[in-house]
Structure 1
Amino acid sequence: MTATKSPYLFEGQGSAIDDYLKPKTDNPKQTTNNSKNWGLFDKKNKQHLTLLSQLRTLQWTVKSEKWGEVADLNRLSDFLKSDKSPVNKPLKEMEPKEVSKIIECFKSMVVKRYK
């Protein structure tokens, strides 16, 4: 049995549920499970670009001073490391068939979100 978190007053932006479920770290740029970012992608790979577009459609984005709003690769990394991911590997190490599974997973998430 896992220990539950104690409730607290949410004083931030966005969803209180997302904030509650998000693990707290001293460094917000650091990923939770491992220091290696599994969400790093190859900008020349069409499948990786398709996955990035799915992230933007789901609004998994963060503000960037240089580029405005960009896909949240840390959140993607945490997803790929989680039990919810159909393939538990870094994105750059996946075979094309495995990346297709991830893309289909995100397409399903988009359909469920905007249905």
Structure 2
Amino acid sequence: MTRTKPQVYTGTGSAVDNYQNPQKQLQTIVHGGRSHSKSNWGLFDKENKQHRTILSLLRTLQWVVKSEKWGEVPDIYRLSDFLKSDKSPINKPLNDMEPTELSKLISCLQSITTKKYK
């Protein structure tokens, strides 16, 4: 069991309401503080093995951004732009893809990796 240290709440309003309604914080995390008029097609499910494979390939391709908390993380905005482009084999948001479509995307990213490091 890990010990946690209590933290002092510094927000406005009720701390309980803030804890139970973290939409603003979540939106900041998801968008990285950026305002995007378009939806982000690169959002992924961390429980999906194919999605994790795609994130691994993004790291291999060095499609990463700096994160204060995690160091370097895969750039899901770059992935989103790629999925929306004509270069992508499947023009759909990552979470809407079927397993066969995800396989095509994985093959495409593996091919890009091969060409980059050949």
Same fold at TM > 0.5? yes
Give, in whole Å, the separation in 2 of the partners of 1:43 and 1:71: 13
The aligned residue for residue 38 of structure 2 is 35
Is 2:89 aligned against 1:79? no
The aligned residue for residue 56 of structure 2 is 53
Give, in whole Å, the separation in 2 of the partners of 1:100 and 1:36: 23
Using structure 2 for the length normalisation, give the TM-score.
Answer: 0.70
Secondary structure of 2:95's aligned partner:
helix
Secondary structure of 1:70's aligned partner:
strand
Cα displacement (A) at 1:56: 0.2
Using structure 1 for the length normalisation, give the TM-score.
Answer: 0.72
Any gaps of 5 or more consecutive residues in structure 1?
A: 1-27
Normalized per residue, the structure richer in helix is 2
Cα displacement (A) at 1:35: 1.7
Q: What percent identity do the matched residue pairs reach?
A: 67
The aligned residue for residue 106 of structure 1 is 109
- Amino acid paired to 2:34: K
Cα displacement (A) at 1:105: 0.2
Any gaps of 5 or more consecutive residues in structure 2?
A: 1-32
CA contact under 8 A between 1:29 and 1:74: conserved in structure 2? no
The aligned residue for residue 93 of structure 1 is 96
Give, in whole Å, the separation in 2 of the partners of 1:106 and 1:30: 27
Cα displacement (A) at 1:57: 0.1
The count of residues paired between Structure 1 and Structure 2 equals 86
Give, in whole Å, the separation in 2 of the partners of 1:78 and 1:110: 18
CA contact under 8 A between 1:85 and 1:102: conserved in structure 2? yes
